[in-house]
């Protein structure tokens, strides 16, 4: 997915991570994505740019797209990050400048590492399921790996953790959760897990005290550490926890995201992550002149143009603001 803002602001990522447990409700904002999709953007948001290396979280749907084109995100570039496509309903067809052509289905991991440069498109296939429901996430690459070779991974069989009798079923998206590890490549200590809770479940899941965490409710009525969380809302939890109490008043599903607080300052603008304004300016020029980011073949439509850079110089920022 892409940041399709026509006038994106420079995103400040960084500052101080919470040093202990907190319960900060992050109310997302609604952002149009192309002509036919609306997403709720949970990260970056006011007062919170990152959770570990997770630096972008969009939640969309469930939308009835039976008579609609669904998601149509034309070719656009990325730099300095990984994209994670995560679906509960529907399918997304991924094409990229490496020649990858992959349909990603519910609870399969589509993981694209942009490294120094890649471009891709994402679309609902012409023949698609009635419902589209998912999340699009970005992971910032650390300085030591941000110029790595671009590559795309598709992992259809992710490890699952089932707590028999507790009404909890987890799929490990990235990193390690409850002793199970995803095959997806990571470059910083982080994790992501999809938790399915049966109605009436009261349980607690294990956390790493050195990680900061956030939870996004994908569906159902839940309480996370005592805080009621509607679908599409995210709760930032801070650090210093060994477990997280969960309760489901209906059948529900949650995305748990965590990681070691990301210490490096970043410049995040449009679909690029760099370390200086000059780097971002160069990336924008390279995309507009058709160099470095390659070409996506087979997408029925024109590629995206980069928006104008803001008048003020882009400066590196920390992870809070």
Q: Based on CB atoms, which residue is closest to Mn ion, 2 or 100?
A: 2
Is the CB of residue 13 less than 8 Å from the CB of residue 55?
A: yes
**In whole angstroms, how close is the CB of 258 to Mn ion at the nearest point?**
23
- Using CB under 5 A as the binding rule, whether residue 114 contacts Mn ion is answered as no
Q: Based on CB atoms, which residue is closest to Mn ion, 2 or 82?
A: 2
Q: Based on CB atoms, which residue is closest to Mn ion, 2 or 124?
A: 2
Binding test (CB under 5 A) with Mn ion, winner from 2, 72, 97, 188: 2
**In whole angstroms, how close is the CB of 241 to Mn ion at the nearest point?**
31
Q: Closest CB to Mn ion belongs to which residue? A: 2
Q: Per CB under 5 A, which region of 2-10, 101-109, 126-134, 294-302 contacts Mn ion?
A: 2-10
**In whole angstroms, how close is the CB of 287 to Mn ion at the nearest point?**
12
Q: Based on CB atoms, which residue is closest to Mn ion, 4 or 229?
A: 4
Main-chain phi, psi angles of 15, to 5 degrees: 105, -145
**In whole angstroms, how close is the CB of 136 to Mn ion at the nearest point?**
8
Considering only CA atoms, which of 185, 138, 169, 182 is closest in space to residue 254? 169
Q: If binding means CB under 5 A, how many residues of this protein chain bind Mn ion?
A: 2
The DSSP 8-state label assigned to residue 13 in this structure reads E
> Assign residue 229 a region: left if phi > 0, alpha if psi is -120 to 50, beta otherwise?
beta
Q: Based on CB atoms, which residue is closest to Mn ion, 85 or 222?
A: 85
Give 161: exposed, middle or buried? Use CB within 10 Å, 0-12, 13-18, 19+.
middle
List, edge to edge, every strand of the sheet that includes 227-229: 202-206, 243-248, 222-224, 227-229
**In whole angstroms, how close is the CB of 152 to Mn ion at the nearest point?**
12
**In whole angstroms, how close is the CB of 82 to Mn ion at the nearest point?**
11
Q: Per CB under 5 A, which region of 1-9, 15-23, 225-233, 250-258 contacts Mn ion?
A: 1-9
Q: Based on CB atoms, which residue is closest to Mn ion, 114 or 203?
A: 114
- Residue 115 CA to residue 249 CA, distance in Å, equals 42
The DSSP 8-state label assigned to residue 239 in this structure reads S
**In whole angstroms, how close is the CB of 76 to Mn ion at the nearest point?**
6
Give 30's contacts (C-beta < 8 A, 6+ positions apart): 38, 39, 40, 41
Name the strand (E) or helix (H) holding 242. none
Task: List interacting residues with Mn ion (CB under 5 A).
Answer: 1-2
């Amino acid at each position: 997915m892409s940041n399709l803002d026509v006038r994106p602001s420079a995103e400040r990522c960084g500052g101080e991570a919470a040093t202990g447990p907190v319960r900060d409700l992050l109310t997302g904002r609604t952002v149009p994505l192309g002509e036919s999709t609306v997403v709720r953007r949970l990260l970056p948001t006011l007062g919170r740019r990152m959770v570990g290396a997770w630096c972008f979280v969009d939640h969309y749907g469930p939308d009835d797209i039976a008579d609609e084109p669904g998601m149509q995100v034309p070719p656009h570039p990325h730099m300095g990050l990984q994209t994670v496509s995560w679906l509960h309903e529907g399918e997304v067809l991924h094409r990229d400048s490496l020649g990858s052509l992959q349909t990603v289905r519910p609870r399969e991991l589509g993981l694209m590492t942009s490294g120094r440069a890649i471009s891709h498109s994402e679309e609902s296939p012409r023949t698609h399921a009635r419902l589209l429901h998912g999340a699009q996430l970005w992971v910032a690459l650390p300085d030591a790996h941000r110029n790595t070779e671009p590559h795309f991974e598709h992992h259809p069989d992710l490890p699952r953790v089932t707590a028999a009798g507790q009404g909890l079923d987890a799929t490990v998206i990235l990193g390690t959760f409850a002793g199970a590890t995803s095959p997806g490549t990571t470059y910083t200590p982080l994790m992501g897990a999809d938790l399915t809770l049966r109605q009436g479940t009261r349980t607690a899941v294990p956390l790493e005290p050195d990680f900061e965490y956030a939870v996004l409710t994908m569906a159902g009525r839940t309480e996370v550490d005592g805080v009621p969380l509607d679908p599409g809302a995210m709760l930032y939890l801070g650090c210093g926890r060994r477990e997280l109490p969960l309760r489901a008043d209906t059948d529900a599903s949650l995305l748990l995201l965590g990681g070691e607080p990301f210490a490096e300052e970043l410049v995040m603008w449009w679909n690029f992550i760099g370390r200086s304004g000059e780097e971002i300016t160069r990336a924008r020029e390279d995309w507009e002149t058709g160099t470095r980011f390659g070409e996506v073949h087979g997408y029925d439509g024109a590629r995206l143009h980069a928006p104008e850079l803001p008048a003020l110089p882009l400066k590196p920022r920390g992870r809070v603001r």
